[in-house]
Amino acid sequence: MAGTATKPARDRGVDPATAERLRTWLRQMLLIRHFEEKAGEAYSLGKIGGFCHLYIGQEALAVGTLSALRADDYVVSAYREHGQALARGMSPRAVMAELYGKATGCSRGKGGSMHLFDASLNFLGGHGIVGGQIPLGTGFAFAAKYRGTDQVSLCYFGEAAVNIGAFHESLNIAGLWKLPVIYVIENNGYGMGTAVSRSSAITDLYERAASYNMPGVVVDGQDVEKVKAATDAAVDRARRESAPTLMEIRTYRYVGHSMSDAAHGTYRTKEEVEEYRQRDPITVLERRMREAGLLDDAAMKALDAEVLAEVEDAVKFAEESPDPAPDELWTDVYAPERADAGENA
Amino acid sequence: MAVITYRDALNQALREELKRDPDVFLMGEEVAEYNGAYKVSRGMLEEFGPMRVVDTPIAELGFAGLGVGAAMVGLRPVIEMMTWNFALLAIDQIVNAAAKVRYMSGGQVGCPIVFRGPGGAALQLGAQHSQSFESWYAHVPGLKVVMPGTPADAKGLLKSAIRDDNPVVFIEGEMLYNTKGEVPDGEYTTPLGVAEIKRPGADVTLVCHAKTVTVALKAAEQLAGEGVDAEVVDLRTIRPLDTETVLSSVARTHRCVVVEEGWPFAGIGAQLVDTVQREIFDELDAPILRVTADDVPMPYNKLLERAAKADVPKVVSAVKQVLYLEASA
């Protein structure tokens, strides 16, 4: 791959806006990859506690879907959400500091890896009970419809969550009431160590949409452009017709379910993981950009170094940030008393 | 003051709050076209339309969670549970989402929502429809738990619950809907977290809430005929608990009986006993006794059901025991 001369993009039929978008996506995906690698290291060193579920291998899914949203749209996810938090635009510093449990974290050290929030970006968690966020995402869409705005709600969950009641109850309501919500099944093949074929009566999960009177689509989650295009269609349907969509986006995680289990050996083989690595979402995009003359070795190296420096800065920030003050233990349990509390109880 | 039913008092509260704030809506099974399983929402669909009085499928977890989501982005949902027995299906959303989201977001995301519906045993509905779950919810930091015992409190407390910025579990007395009482005219609210002395007395404090307010008042009346002057303290809110009112009453009477509809183990009374003995041990002239439901699933048979419930004779007997007028059971 070395030594390919880079021609100006316009010579290869790629318009500058597209070229810029591809570069942004590549950068975001690299950011997530490096961030997660550093998070894994910090976890191994005991600097990050609790559960920690890495997003490595699934980067195109978060980046492709979130680039289809508007700033005022709503996003909610499960506990493997570092990638989505970063793709939504949360600062690597705030996210890393949260993993470290520091006062400067996006949830002020009270949420942790599984509970990343940024209300200013309508990124409303990080939820730790499988499928528990599906009714919440449905509620954001209900609120948009109730208020008559054209906001949409993007609700992520793993493929194993399609077997829980909250999935069925939510999608039935969204289909019945025509709510502007996009349900994204992040199908990485395994719920912890249980393969889809061992947990779901049908393995083409998007077909479940038929039960809820909404379109179901299946998407190659390792190709960011395909993810973006499919999400655009779903967002358009939600925004213009106030109608839900079920997207099954097929992806793969190279790492274990969490930091506490091996990448392979029990429920899947090393060969399988290696096979999926051949379709790495970053490599897929990188190759396409090189072929289009949008990237060469030097540019890739520079981008990689820039992103790595940003992640290292985030780690340094997290390391140096203070723990929450002891009395933070007692704040945010209840809402602060309002000035009109006398009248409003 | 008008005399109206507990049901109509709740209806007034809902109507007034929906009128007052466009962000408030009512959602649940049969709340709209059917006018509510217990008719609490009678006439509201007609007045407010289907966007604000919303019938749902039978999917407690789904619509409770939908309400939590709507509250997280600033609406003020009132989610009706046909009964609190069915809310067990939704408890994940109440406990894991509504009660937690403010804390785990570091204070960024609130959840101003009311979950309301009837609790406690009615008549011969059997084991699955005759339960009191207030101690389950009161156990959870982040939730408020409110249980009105009179029409006036039902109205004033529900209005406060809807205006509160926290998730509120509002448990109505299934046997209280038809009870009548004076309700103040015009706009008023009753503050959460404030107990009320429903009957002043000097000899013993009866602590109660919801349906047992009636039980305690009747027991107090009977005791008065026997020369015992009982004070009745209605908690009204279980969490936050107004310990001050309870403690100052017991400090005056030196004797206490806690009456509740729920089971004894880890019940509301257990919490009260802990608080009173710890704070004012020296004021007590007798061990605190508790009158609860018996520690069994509710039987269907009428006689067995009656035997299982907290009632006036049990309260009278407990009072006599703490006054050493009767040997302990």
pLDDT digits (tens, 9 = 90+) for B249-305: 999 999 999 999 999 999 999 999 999 999 999 999 999 999 999 999 999 999 999
User: Rounded CA gap, B68 and B90, in Å?
Assistant: 11
Residue ranges of domains in chain A: 14-320
The one catalytic residue in B129, B196, B279, B283 is B129
Tens of pLDDT, residues A177-198: 999 999 999 999 999 999 999 9
* Residues A152, A238 contacting (CB under 8 angstroms): yes
DSSP A8: P
> Is A1 a residue whose pLDDT tops 70?
no
Instruction: Give the tokens for residue B230.
Output: 């009982």
Nearest to A57, CA basis, from A327, A228, A280, A298: A280
User: Rounded CA gap, A111 and A99, in Å?
Assistant: 8
User: Rounded CA gap, A154 and B321, in Å?
Assistant: 61
Residues B202 and B178 in one domain: no
Half-sphere exposure of B327 (CA within 13 A, CB side): 1
- Provide the strand spans (E) within A159-232: 181-187, 190-191, 194-195, 216-220
> Is B163 a residue whose pLDDT tops 70?
yes
ipTM exceeding 0.90, yes/no = yes
Of B183, B205, B221, the last residue of a domain is B183
Class of CATH domain A14-320: alpha beta
Q: What is the pLDDT of residue A29?
A: 98
Search chain B and give the residue with CA nearest A334.
Answer: B142
Search chain A and give the residue with CA nearest B103.
Answer: A332
Q: What is the pLDDT of residue A262?
A: 87
- Computed over every residue of chain B, the mean pLDDT equals 97
Cβ of A343 within 8 Å of Cβ of B189? The answer is yes
User: Rounded CA gap, A45 and A318, in Å?
Assistant: 14
Cβ of A173 within 8 Å of Cβ of B62? The answer is yes
Q: What is the pLDDT of residue A345?
A: 39
Q: Active-site residue B129, yes or no?
A: yes
Residues B213 and B164 in one domain: no
Give B328's pLDDT tier (boundaries 50, 70, 90).
confident
Q: Active-site residue B60, yes or no?
A: yes
Cβ of A139 within 8 Å of Cβ of B74? The answer is no
Search chain B and give the residue with CA nearest A142.
Answer: B70
What residues of chain A lie within 8 A of the CB of B57, using their CB? 169, 172-173, 176
* Cα A242 → chain centroid: 23
Residues B151 and B229 in one domain: no
Tens of pLDDT, residues B187-206: 999 999 999 999 999 999 99
* Residues A128, A121 contacting (CB under 8 angstroms): no
- DSSP 3-state of B187: coil
Instruction: Give the tokens for residue B116.
Output: 């309301």
B70 touches chain A (CB under 8 A): yes
Residues B87 and B116 in one domain: yes
The angle at the Cα of B325, spanning B324 to B329, to the nearest 5 degrees, equals: 75
| Domain carrying residue B239 | 196-322
* Residues A60, A117 contacting (CB under 8 angstroms): no
Nearest to A61, CA basis, from A227, A278, A288: A227
Residues B72 and B164 in one domain: yes
Of B136, B151, B183, the last residue of a domain is B183
Cβ of A166 within 8 Å of Cβ of B61? The answer is yes
Nearest to A311, CA basis, from A37, A26, A23, A24: A37
Residues B141 and B202 in one domain: no
Residues B251 and B200 in one domain: yes
Which residues are bridge partners to B25 per DSSP?
A: B77
For residue B77, the one-letter residue type is P
Residue B226 sits in a domain whose CATH number is 3.40.50.920
What residues of chain B lie within 8 A of the CB of A142, using their CB? 66, 69-70
Residues B110 and B25 in one domain: yes
> Within a domain: residue B328?
no
Instruction: Give the tokens for residue A25.
Output: 């996506």
- Contact residues, A window 116-155, toward B, CB-based 8 Å cutoff: 117-119, 122, 124-129, 132, 134-140, 142-143, 146-147
Tens of pLDDT, residues A45-73: 999 999 999 999 999 999 999 999 999 99
φ and ψ at residue A77, rounded to 5 degrees: -145, 180
Residues B235 and B257 in one domain: yes
Q: What is the pLDDT of residue A343?
A: 47
Nearest to B220, CA basis, from B233, B236, B237: B233
Of B155, B183, B211, the last residue of a domain is B183
Search chain B and give the residue with CA nearest A102.
Answer: B106
Q: What is the pLDDT of residue B290?
A: 98
> Is A11 a residue whose pLDDT tops 80?
no
Residues B96 and B214 in one domain: no
Nearest to B122, CA basis, from B178, B181, B173, B180: B173
Q: What is the pLDDT of residue A340?
A: 61
B92 touches chain A (CB under 8 A): yes
Total-model pTM: 0.96
Q: In the predicted model, what is the mean pLDDT of residues B23-36?
A: 97
> Within a domain: residue B329?
no
What residues of chain B lie within 8 A of the CB of A112, using their CB? 104
Residues B169 and B243 in one domain: no
Cα-Cα-Cα-Cα dihedral sign, residues A97, A98, A101, A105 = positive
How far off is chain B from A95, nearest CA to CA, in Å?
12
For tokens 């406690």, what's the residue? B120
φ and ψ at residue B63, rounded to 5 degrees: -80, -25
Nearest to B68, CA basis, from A125, A140, A248: A140
Number of domains in chain B: 2
Residues B162 and B76 in one domain: yes
Tell me what percent of chain B is helix, strand and coil, each rounded to the nearest 5: 40, 20, 40
Q: Which residues of B229-268 are buried (b: 16+ CB within 10 A; e: fewer)?
A: ebbbbbbbbbbebbeebbbebbeebbbbbbbbbbbeeebb
Tens of pLDDT, residues A198-216: 999 999 999 999 999 999 9
How far off is chain B from A293, nearest CA to CA, in Å?
43
Cβ of B66 within 8 Å of Cβ of A142? The answer is yes
B160 touches chain A (CB under 8 A): yes
Search chain A and give the residue with CA nearest B74.
Answer: A143
Count the Cβ atoms, other than its own, within 10 Å of residue B290: 19
How far off is chain A from B223, nearest CA to CA, in Å?
35
What residues of chain B lie within 8 A of the CB of A137, using their CB? 69
* Residues B9, B183 contacting (CB under 8 angstroms): yes
Give A3's pLDDT tier (boundaries 50, 70, 90).
very low
